[in-house]
Amino acid sequence: MSEPVPEPPHTPVHGTWEPAPAARWEDAFLTGNGRHGALVYGDPEDDRVIVTHHTLVRPHHRPGDTDPPRLADRLPALQDALLSGDLTAADTFTDGRPLRWIQPFHPGFLTRVRAEPPGPAPGVRREADFTTGTVTATAGGRTSRVFASRADDVLVQYVTEPGPRVRVELDHRLDGVPAGLAVGRSVATAHGETVLTLRARYPGSTLGYTGVTLAVADTGRTTLTDRGIRVDGAARLLLLTRVHRHDGPYDPAEETAALRALAGEDGPAAAYDRLLRRHTALHRPAYLRVALDLGAEPAERALPGSTLLARPAGPALLERLFAAGRHHLLSSAGLYPPRLCGLWTGDWDTAWSGGFTTDANLALQTASAVAADLPEVTEAHRALIRGQTDDWRDNARAVFGTRGIVAPAHTDGANGHTYHFDRAYPLHLWTAAADWLLLPLLEADETDGRHDPWLTGLLAELADFYEDFLTRTGPGGHLAVVPSYSPENRPRGGGAGAVNATMDLAAARHALTAAADRAPARRAARLRALADRLPPYRVNADGALAEWAWPGLGDRYDHRHLSHLYPVWPLDEITPYDTPDLARAAARALALRGSENDSAHGHLHQGLVAARLGDAGRTGDALRRVLGGDYFHASLMSAHYPKRDVYNADAAHALPALLIEALVRSTPGRLVLLPAPPPGLCARGRITGVRTRFGARIDLAWAPGEYRAVLRPDRDADIELCAPEGRRRLTLRAGTEHALVSPGAGGPAADPSPDPNSPGRSAPG
């Protein structure tokens, strides 16, 4: 007899906690509103908050350094050489400039509230409430609360019972701060309010940034010091902080007035409550739209995050990481989507410049945005693209001599030119980035049942590029993508810049088809005909989908990237349902793939591909490698390498996507239930609020051998249902709930949704 579908004991905890302050910035709890970010140490004796902002990137280029290389006149000769058998010809296809990285992302400064004199701290508890985005630290009677307002774009810190005497300062002295950073401070106080200003100018530049903090005390006496203020006898203290990057002088008077208006005249407590209500009205519903409950024991759920991380086999850790990843992804997306480090860093020497890497990392981080109902993330992604399309047009003209658009592999957010060249990584030759970047917006359109005209226009421009670029042919008269690059690998028998990388073929085929679907009839026919002339994928002698569909180019299997499996994930071109032979070849390619340097993104990328192929075992193996590899800091932000080496958001933000893909998968015409639940990790549970690309939300509860699901469509759809017991057609009607129950489950299908207004406890305890 099968076990009943579970009804977990209560809603999982939506937060995390630790019994001590953070000793390292990597362990500091995080909050953000997609523009401003904060890393909160939670130390009552030295209450430090690192302030960040998406625009804080350090200039380090001369004029012209970031222009795309003008190589179009040399392209025909390169194509001739590659097609004639000189498979290393692209190794020197550059304008001779040295490798130039994008502008590095960096932290701004610290706000500090320090006890004077410092004393022994009583028991400290710091916690993060994901439903409100608030980080709270308590010690004795003292409480400090910090959040980044999504409504008012301001960092808010509210301290009650701060102590008999505290000093408040803005401090730029963070790890790696350049010696030549020019810093100035000013402080002005009147009527219980103080404005602290920190001005910074980058070495050798007119660019800089200014931080402004308004400090309001309810009682006591405020006096000026050499670096800030001293506050005696206050019961409540409110700090409101913003930071601006600017070119040339900046007058903070307007900012000061805006902060004073936010503080109002009714005291710190009332101002904090008002600001928190306005912020929570936006943050809480967004965070709660989707939730995962794996039925963990209440005692496990009550443990600190660092303790759970030492127990990687338990469901409580997966619940916590799913919730934290969702919170961090939402909190880092606004002006831009998340960077390699999300929205947070405490070090000026941020790995890989803390930018947006589009050849895997950004896509992995934002992979859950559509299904997990976070349009805030999708809109941030759209905003990044909107700000760079002119630069993408420059790339197409300069490098390839074509119309249309070519996106870069790296960007700092301020510049979309492609100029990153290294002999091993000739990223300016990669043409698939625009297709990958536009794909989440296409999926959002499918989910919403619309055609965004702006996106339609960009797809048309991408098709323009391929019409101009795909002019060469190879064996059998098929078009050749030349030059071609498979990030960030290189073939045996050729250079990194090669011919017919599988990813480039898939991206070209998909882009042309997607553009044709929205084009007038005559152009649509022309684009589809062009797509049909692309060569088929190649299966190599090992029975694996080859990374290059060109004679003489062999595979290098031990690599962190899985670019050649792009037709499986994120595209749905190769599936076990529609292309079983190619799916088997893709599965073989996945089985042969090594993990190279154990980058967390490589493990999760493998898991996402395995989930698409319905391989629960490999999905679970990938997840266990990340859970057991010491990739997560106490903040529940992740690292790039094992043993918490290199602060990086890839694993933290991608893990929710992997769990959703393993449990629920949709295309515009198909719903797959429980395609690859990781054995031993997700034996039973409930996931609610997942959006599908055919316009329905789904809640799913499952246990060994059975499931119950409720579909809530907002438009009519006729889809194929692929469930553990088999495949069948399903007709949905807008506004009508549709219940699905596995054979043998027994009883009517119950709505597995929790009360959306009952998030449970904000943090365990």
Domains of the chain: 33-57+108-288 (2.70.98.50), 72-102+309-659 (1.50.10.10)
Confidence of residue 64 (pLDDT cuts 50, 70, 90): confident
Residue 59, both tokens: 């200039």
Least confident segment among 120-129, 196-205, 620-629 = 120-129
Phi-psi region of 614 (alpha: psi -120 to 50; beta: other; left: phi over 0): left
Using the predicted structure, report yes or no on whether residue 722 has a pLDDT greater than 80.
Answer: yes
Confidence of residue 746 (pLDDT cuts 50, 70, 90): low
Instruction: Give the tens place of pLDDT for each residue, 155-175.
Output: 999 999 999 999 999 999 999
* Mean pLDDT computed over 225-252: 95
Task: Count CB-CB contacts under 10 A for residue 358.
Answer: 22
Percentage of the residues of the chain whose pLDDT score is greater than 90: 90
Q: For all residues of the chain together, what is the average pLDDT?
A: 93
Distance CA(687)–CA(372), nearest Å, equals 10
Using the predicted structure, report yes or no on whether residue 763 has a pLDDT greater than 70.
Answer: no
Distance CA(687)–CA(708), nearest Å, equals 11
Distance CA(91)–CA(496), nearest Å, equals 7
CA dihedral 373, 377, 380, 384 (to 10 degrees): -120
* Secondary structure tally for the chain: helices H, strands E: 17, 31
Using the predicted structure, report yes or no on whether residue 748 has a pLDDT greater than 80.
Answer: no
Using the predicted structure, report yes or no on whether residue 2 has a pLDDT greater than 50.
Answer: no
> How many residues are recorded in the chain?
765
Q: What is the pLDDT of residue 312?
A: 86
Instruction: Give the tens place of pLDDT for each residue, 31-41.
Output: 999 999 999 99
Distance CA(598)–CA(588), nearest Å, equals 20
Confidence of residue 121 (pLDDT cuts 50, 70, 90): low
CA atoms within 13 A on the CB side of 236: 12
Least confident segment among 49-63, 280-294, 326-340 = 49-63
Q: What is the pLDDT of residue 751?
A: 41
Query: Side chain identity at 751, as an amino acid letter?
Result: D
Distance CA(646)–CA(649), nearest Å, equals 10
Using the predicted structure, report yes or no on whether residue 660 has a pLDDT greater than 90.
Answer: yes
Residue 299, both tokens: 């005692």
Q: What is the pLDDT of residue 9?
A: 39
Contacts (Cβ under 8 Å, ≥6 apart) of 5 = 684, 701, 702, 703, 706, 707, 708, 745, 752
pTM here? 0.95
Confidence of residue 423 (pLDDT cuts 50, 70, 90): confident
Residue 671, both tokens: 């719903």
* Mean pLDDT computed over 699-715: 97
Residue found by looking up tokens 């960096």 in the block: 106
Using the predicted structure, report yes or no on whether residue 696 has a pLDDT greater than 90.
Answer: yes
Contacts (Cβ under 8 Å, ≥6 apart) of 44 = 21, 115, 121, 122, 124, 137, 139, 140, 142, 144
Using the predicted structure, report yes or no on whether residue 1 has a pLDDT greater than 60.
Answer: no
Confidence of residue 424 (pLDDT cuts 50, 70, 90): confident
Using the predicted structure, report yes or no on whether residue 110 has a pLDDT greater than 90.
Answer: yes
**Contact (CB, 8 A) for 336 and 380:** yes
Helix, strand, coil percent content, the chain, rounded in steps of 5: 30, 25, 45
Q: What is the CA radius of gyration of the chain?
A: 27
Convert 7-44 to b/e letters by CB count within 10 Å (16 or more is b).
Answer: ebeebbbbbbbbebbbeebbbbbbbbbbbbbbbbbbbb
**Contact (CB, 8 A) for 250 and 236:** no
Q: How far is CA 46 from the centre of its chain?
A: 31
